[in-house]
Structure 1
């Protein structure tokens, strides 16, 4: 077993990417994720891999398109406004079915907003985030260890399904320090990249990477192919944690990332007051873990409460999953404000008292 090492979240992401076999990184600095680029700028050239600080976020994502098209593992990272600038390129990558990993360390918005942690990019990440009919898997780690593990998983999932994959953490996870272990990973049975534009390699014709379909019949066929892939991702890659949901509870909170850690403390505080709470923690934000609600809908007296660092985004998916069978409440802070466990508990008490 490897030893644990104390690392800042952003630097741990960089090391996880290296150990996952990332060959190329293209990025542009923006707080609070700049340490990812700084770490990789020191490490990648020493091991014969490519680090390139592009002239803009738009340039960086298009460099990812090119590198991914050759079949090598590649990654980019940014924070909220930078991801917006990458949006067109992400749609092109999804349309061309290219595997890559995109890191978003979320800051407060809208606009330039602020550099404090937030979860207000949920809609952008899970509802496409750009033009066209596409989705991409979105992982939401709650610790630096899980961030490391999910970054490495993301490269495998990207290669398995030929898709961009996002790992989305808030600014707190990027900046905090925790002990992490870089575990030895078993070899995955991943498909050979016979589609890559990397020379003839014994083929009769060159592979061409493209997302342009001028005939509507061809584009619809391509979209149906993509939808079949997204269906398989939903069936095989959905991840979530159920916490304290074994027995009947007064209310089940739904939270991800840093907020889920706060909610686990809320559960302990509530227990001292005779209030029983549970937690659904989505690990994949897309696909959203609808199954978790099917398993728990009969175990919550007063319904669910979506607890977020936003003005209310994930709560819409919670409502869709609950399908009106139980009340759904919302509590959130925005702009970089992080609630205390006591603040969350006081609002949970209101929900329980006000539920009919």
Structure 2
């Protein structure tokens, strides 16, 4: 198939349709609204269900009901809207039914602004809702990856009876790039044994819930979900490496931060600096072992994010003080520039910071002086 010039939000929406999406429920919020707007026309064209709910709370509970039937179901939102959905997401996780969530992040906290940010990392990766649960979170860095990971998200959600999240920021949702859309998948005609689809053929009644009033039963359910998550960790970790064969220093960032950082790494390579880039694709499960092994080999790491250092904590956990870790972040909806990251690479190489202290504190001191 030929490549087309596609906006990120629109590309994700069309990819979801071609992946077999049958039911979408959502509520408009910038910078995600084009996704919902596109589906409002395309889903009826395909004879599929589209509902603009009265709120994010309404949307996620509609998703919950549809997910219990085994349908391929999705919603999308942006940071404050995701916060409103967290209770419903926890119910869906506790009921062990699959769904796909697209989170197009913006500046925060609070209402913040409509500019791109990566402020939702913690609430997605570390489970913003109540209870012990995990979601699969995929972080594309360009429109083609956003398409491919949308299709993958549906497959992973169903395989593991899990929530799968496509986690992007507003810049990727709004940008246009050439990309290739996938072929249409046939819609499902058979549904899993657990799905509630009416008393077909006089079969035994099916019942789905997230409530276990007996503590031993709740514990059993939690352990069942944890065993499934261990399978995800064993089989689904994804990441990309650039210039890592001889790298003595590593820059790392997810999504747009990793994309911008790659330009800085290429510039540093042109100057003869032996630096590489590690870009996690699955930020949940996080590739801890990859970072752990790198920390034993390299002379330093630089974490780049569009927040105040949320993924940074996972990198520090993996590195365990074996190598210096530095941080560079832009917040409030500001996207870092390649030249800024290149300056931080020079700092890492030339100043050779010692292991110890918190990299966020050192970054804050520099940012306060700048502002």
Partner of 1:266: 264
The residue number in structure 2 matching 1:30 is: 29
Q: Does 1:40 align with 2:43?
A: no
* SS of the residue 2:278 aligns to: strand
In the alignment, the residues of structure 2 paired with residue 78 and residue 186 of structure 1 have an alpha-carbon distance, to the nearest angstrom, of: 25
Distance 1:198 1:103 in 2: 26
Query: 1:283 is matched with which residue?
Result: 281
User: What is the distance in 2 between the residues matched to 1:253 and 1:202?
Assistant: 58
Distance (Å, rounded) in 1 between the aligned partners of 2:126 and 2:289: 19
Partner of 1:194: 193
Cα deviation digits, residues 271-323 of structure 1 (max 9, x gap): 2322121111010010001232244234422x211100001110000011112
Q: SS where residue 288 of structure 1 aligns?
A: coil
Structure 2 residue 108 is the aligned partner of structure 1 residue 109: yes
Q: What is the aligned residue count?
A: 351
User: 2:366 matched to which residue of 1?
Assistant: none
Give 2:140's aligned residue.
Answer: 141
Q: Which runs of 5+ in 1 are unaligned?
A: none
Residue 312 in structure 1 maps to residue 306 in structure 2: no
Query: For each residue in 1:106-150, what CA deviation from the matched residue of structure 2 results, as whole angstroms up to 9, or x when unmatched?
Result: 000000001010011111111111000000000000000000000
CA–CA distance in 2 between the matches of 1:214 and 1:55? Answer: 31
Secondary structure, aligned partner of 1:169: strand
Q: 1:184 to 1:44 in 2, by over 3 A?
A: closer
TM-score by length of 2: 0.92
* Match of residue 221 from structure 1: 220
Which string of whole-angstrom CA distances, capped at 9 and with x for unpartnered residues, describes residues 57-101 of structure 1?
A: 000000000001111100000000000000000000000011000
Aligned CA RMSD, in angstroms, stands at 1.6
SS of structure 1 residue aligned to 2:343: helix
| Equivalent position of 1:207 in the other structure | 206
The 3-state SS of whatever aligns with 1:202 is helix
SS at match of 1:266: helix
Provide structure 2 residue ranges, at least 5 long, that are not aligned to the other structure: 355-371
Q: CA deviation at 1:185?
A: 8.0
3-state SS of the aligned residue for 1:209? Answer: coil
Q: Is the 8 A contact 2:73 2:99 kept in 1?
A: yes
Select between 257-266 and 19-28 the one with higher mean Cα deviation. Answer: 257-266
Q: Aligned equivalents of 1:186 and 1:171: distance in 2?
A: 28
| Residue of structure 2 equivalent to 1:252 | 250
Alignment of 1:42-191 (within 5 A): 42-184=41-183
For 1:336, the equivalent position in structure 2 comes to 333
Per the TM alignment, residue 209 of structure 1 is displaced from its structure 2 partner at its CA by 1.3
Question: Retained in 1: the 8 A contact 2:15–2:182?
Answer: no
